[in-house]
Structure 1
Amino acid sequence: MRKVFRELKSLDEVRRILESLTIDLDIEEISIFEAYNRVLAEDVYAKCDVPPFDRATMDGFAVKAEDTFLAEEDKPIKLKIVGNVKAGEVPRVEVDRGCAVEISTGAVMPKGANAVVMVEYTTVRDGYVYVYKPVAPMENVASAGSDAMAGELIVRKGKVLSAREIGLIASAGVDRVKVFRKPKVAIISTGDEIVEVGRPLEIGKIYDVNLYMITSKVKECGCLAFPMGVVRDDYLEIKRTVENALKTCDIVITTGSTSAGLGDVIYRVFEELGDVFVHGIAVKPGKPTVIAKTKNKVLFGLPGYPVSALMIFEVVVAPFLRKLTGLEVERNKVKAVLQVKTYSDVGRREFRPVALVKTGKFIAYPFTTYSGSVSTLAKADGFIEIPENVAFLEEGEEVDVILFGDYKPSDLVIIGSHCLGVDLLIELCSVDAKVINVGSTGGLLAVKRGEADLAGTHLLDESGVYNIPFIKRLGLKDVILVKGYEREQGFIVAKGNPKGIRGFEDLLREDVVFINRNPGSGTRVLIDMKLRELAEKLGLSFEEIKKRIKGYDVEAKTHTAVAVAVLMGKADVGVGIRTVADRYGLDFIPLRPEEYDFVVRKDRLGKESVKRFLETLRSDKFKREVRKLKGIRVTERTGEIVEFS
């Protein structure tokens, strides 16, 4: 029988529940060498005074302070040197009136001395020291017990031990401390379609992402992680694995098998093993989340999509784990301006991954499709939270971005059309680059706003000229066009071209399914231009032509996505570059070569990363390596700068 979701809980309800949950962790005694980032389980008291004696804090001369009160820069006082004391020595000399003892930093103060004159304010001649500046009693002296006295409480229970606390504990003569045992967390991936990394990948199977990702996040939260592999969507097998995990671990995290589908069994397993108090959260992504408690242990069932699993881990699981380990619960945030209008589902709090660009202020580029997108995890810098009662966020609206880690601005920002040639250029010039694929038009606008150093573009105007008409039309100023390379555009079809596709007329056939490209991309401009020509030839309107093409409204954001759709049989044909067709073993029907160029802001031309990128574009090494990418070729104009008004 299919299990439907219980009443969805709000995220705030779930957080309140987890804040009240505790897990009793054992106490263990460890060396202070191992104590960094551990949580103290009992107060620590000093075994001795810190420091244990009056000591000099500067190199100089130990004196009676009152002997120096009349010292002036032009009238130094004269004191007889009666000995010296080095650090670690027991003083064997006493300071009387009119005398001084040379002393090193950290040395024990000799009897009779109550101050140290810094060596910078003295000169030595004929066994006497001349003092040019007076000192006050106890100046440049650390008195015994000034940091801590024997028996004094120096670090309280519950404190997360940093290098500072460990240094204080060591100075007080304490070499071992009692800390709470690190929580042990088991991580289990579920799903019949999941394959462990390293095994052969069959059609319909995908490599496991969650086991490795969640294991890393668990360690980041200060816990001990125990990855337990992949388990099939089988009730008994999942239950047996979870039961084994509970024998040794405090927390169990599963991914997959959480929603209301026939194959999703985590709810039933958790219900049998403990008390389920969450089955579904009013958030997106991550609605099908299950949380339960059994005795002194907690179970989290996360969704199977990698981004959904990561989001729920960040907003639900991580704060709970960090509370147990004593690490800071609040994550780093930055204020950013949203680059595009962003829609959300009213009634569910949404967490949307974003990429950040810094231009004096942060600019956030939200990802539009992401739950099952593994690449989003690598490209996203953080995420924004959209409240339940908000239908959309406006372009230009300021938002809080919760960072996945420490944000580091990239040396080079490229926003525009996706191309494997760009990937090659970045690899060859060895710069830290952020690449955001939003299409040629989006790239030009990003350059105009100053968010990108450069944009890759291949927009074909009806006049037959690439890129320049669009630069003028969009009002870009103070930019240059750098000629890139030619790419061969054409139809991507299955091996052997089983549907016999030859031209755009074939897209109108009932037995042909097409996959389109996203608006704003150069390839979409080419597709629509060719379809308008076809409409004119057939005496039809452009709208009529679009309606007759199966799949015209299905859009892929990259050339690779087009190739994969054809490879998987979701489409019979799409338009893309020869390079990706060759990479996926598909057939290619040429349409025309296109010019893929770069638009660069003039104020970024002096930037070292931009100079290296353009030098690489013009290099012999790039010319050699690009030949390996079938369908891309450099020309005599590659690297040429085109100025225009």
Structure 2
Amino acid sequence: MGTEYLKIKEAKEAKKIIDNLFNELYKIKCEEILLENSYYRITYDNIKSSIAIPPFNKSLKDGFAVKAKDTFGASDDNPKTFKIIDTVEAGSFSEKTLKNGEAIEISTGAPVPKGSDAIAMVEYSEKVQDGPESEVAIYKSVSPSQDIAKKGSDIEKNKPLISAKTKLSPVKIGVLSAQGLNKVKVYKKLEISVISTGNELLTQEDTINYGKIYDINTNTIKNSVISCGCEAKVQGIIKDNYNKLRNKIETSLKTSDIVITSGGTSAGVGDVLKDVIEDIGEVIIHGISIKPGKPTLIGKVNGKLVIGLPGNPVGAIIVFNVFIAPNLRKLVGLNPAAKNKKIRVKLSKRIHSSKGRVQYLLIEIKDNKAYPILKDSGAINALSYAEGYIKVPKSVELIDADEIVEAYLF
């Protein structure tokens, strides 16, 4: 077993290496999926309208289709009377052409008949005779185009509809449904296996025993992966056992694009990930000069990445957000920089940093100030109210209270 870090890198160098590995090993891909399964997927191409919406002149009200000029002067005291020559409901249409003095009874959403240019609302109309010679009295004049939605007034044919790299919300899916689309081309998701390692870990279904802790990283990393637009495949907890870990990684790589583990990355006698990756592939990075997050391992196996995050939850989430998330987001069509919104705020109190290593400090934002959460990197409670982090360069040992810092929000 290894007893020291083999390939420790400065933060800037490590980020460049990791970015280059993603560019080398992974290409942006697309796939065509059913529209009904497209919720929150990212569009790959610009989408144009294939039909006009509405696809015909449509009545906006229940009433009577008429020629507007025939209603001029209509009032309660002087109604205009029209011969009803047909009835049309939504989903059907009339083949008749309206002439002067004629009306066609119409429902909301139905196509406006030929010869008509306005709708007289049912509220201002009254049938005065039923049967074959039915008539309607209209008590209020209407203007041309009144209560008619013109063909293409909502969406014109062959016009831009939805841009590429758009997240498909329920409303946007509704717009595509109105176009009669059954399938849509989207960015293909990366499939990422998530493994937690450690003899001390228990699932949430287990009973807690002395010396044991519940696994935090599986759910934290799984949902971080999902937030980057990728598919997370939980592979469970693996003990610190060389053969079991090797078997699980090799099996996971057959069905996944990337494997992310947590724990087992340090230089201690019980940490076996380095040995596994050395035997089945290549260790590219073993250790990054940051705090927290130093025990990070980046390996390559059969043209795929194996990413070993630190076992402590704070270090794991910092490394994921800083070094891994931007690359995942880019590959699935999301803005690489959007995951962590950057703001400038005052620091609430003086902080001291470890010179020689880039330090990431969790923070809480209150009253437009950044309050450092000064707990060790394994402190679980820090995650519950952390809203982001600040980055302290390795050359900086002290930042005074009220200094302006850049905060990266989760």
Class of the TM-score when normalised by the shorter of the 2 chains: 0.7 to 0.9
Partner of 1:391: 397
Distance 2:26 2:4 in 1: 29
Q: Does 1:216 align with 2:218?
A: no
CA contact (8 A) 1:40 1:177 kept: yes
Partner of 1:342: 351
Q: Which amino acid aligns with 1:113?
A: S
Partner of 2:287: 280
CA distance 1:63–1:300, change in 2 (3 Å): farther
Deviations 1:546-598, CA, capped at 9 Å, x for gaps: xxxxxxxxxxxxxxxxxxxxxxxxxxxxxxxxxxxxxxxxxxxxxxxxxxxxx
CA distance 1:23–1:39, change in 2 (3 Å): farther
CA contact (8 A) 2:296 2:310 kept: yes
CA contact (8 A) 1:87 1:104 kept: yes
Indicate the structure with greater helix content: 1
> Greater Rg, structure 1 or structure 2?
1
Distance 2:277 2:11 in 1: 17
CA contact (8 A) 2:75 2:139 kept: no
1:208 Cα deviation (Å)? 2.2
Which of these residues, 6, 9, 20, is aligned with residue 8 of structure 2?
Answer: 6
1:253 Cα deviation (Å)? 0.3
1:251 Cα deviation (Å)? 1.1
Partner of 1:103: 106
Which of these residues, 245, 252, 259, is aligned with residue 259 of structure 2?
Answer: 252
Partner of 1:36: 39
Q: Which amino acid aligns with 1:128?
A: A
Aligned 1:133-532 pairs, distance under 5 A: 134-135=143-144, 137=145, 140-143=148-151, 147=155, 149=157, 159-199=166-206, 201-329=208-336, 330-331=338-339, 333=341, 336-357=345-366, 361-404=367-410
Distance 1:390 1:72 in 2: 83
1:155 Cα deviation (Å)? 5.2
CA contact (8 A) 2:74 2:80 kept: no
Q: Which amino acid aligns with 1:338?
A: L
Higher relative contact order (CA 8 A, sep 6+): 2
Runs of 5+ in structure 1 lacking a partner? 405-645
Q: So what's the TM-score if we normalise by structure 2?
A: 0.79
Distance 1:21 1:75 in 2: 82
Partner of 1:62: 65
CA distance 1:263–1:90, change in 2 (3 Å): same
CA distance 1:125–1:12, change in 2 (3 Å): same
Distance 1:94 1:319 in 2: 61
Helix, strand or coil for the counterpart of 1:350? strand
CA contact (8 A) 2:44 2:333 kept: no
Deviations 1:27-77, CA, capped at 9 Å, x for gaps: 665432211122446776766554332222445553445667x77999999
Q: Which amino acid aligns with 1:394?
A: D
CA distance 1:399–1:320, change in 2 (3 Å): same
Deviations 1:269-314, CA, capped at 9 Å, x for gaps: 3344445444433432112222234455322110111111112122
Q: Does 1:80 align with 2:82?
A: yes
Partner of 2:117: 114
Distance 2:18 2:156 in 1: 40
1:173 Cα deviation (Å)? 1.9
Range with greater deviation from structure 2 (88-97 or 105-114): 88-97
1:179 Cα deviation (Å)? 4.3
CA contact (8 A) 1:193 1:205 kept: yes
CA distance 1:119–1:373, change in 2 (3 Å): farther
Q: So what's the TM-score if we normalise by structure 1?
A: 0.53
CA distance 1:61–1:395, change in 2 (3 Å): farther
Distance 1:116 1:24 in 2: 56
Q: Which amino acid aligns with 2:230?
A: C
Distance 1:125 1:202 in 2: 82
1:167 Cα deviation (Å)? 1.6
CA distance 1:62–1:256, change in 2 (3 Å): same
1:323 Cα deviation (Å)? 2.8
CA contact (8 A) 1:81 1:102 kept: no
Provide the aligned C-alpha RMSD in A: 3.9
CA distance 1:86–1:200, change in 2 (3 Å): closer
CA distance 1:232–1:317, change in 2 (3 Å): same
Distance 1:351 1:246 in 2: 31
Runs of 5+ in structure 2 lacking a partner? 129-135
CA distance 1:204–1:144, change in 2 (3 Å): closer
Helix, strand or coil for the counterpart of 2:226? helix
CA contact (8 A) 1:46 1:174 kept: no
Deviations 1:390-433, CA, capped at 9 Å, x for gaps: 434432345554443xxxxxxxxxxxxxxxxxxxxxxxxxxxxx
1:254 Cα deviation (Å)? 0.7
Partner of 1:472: none
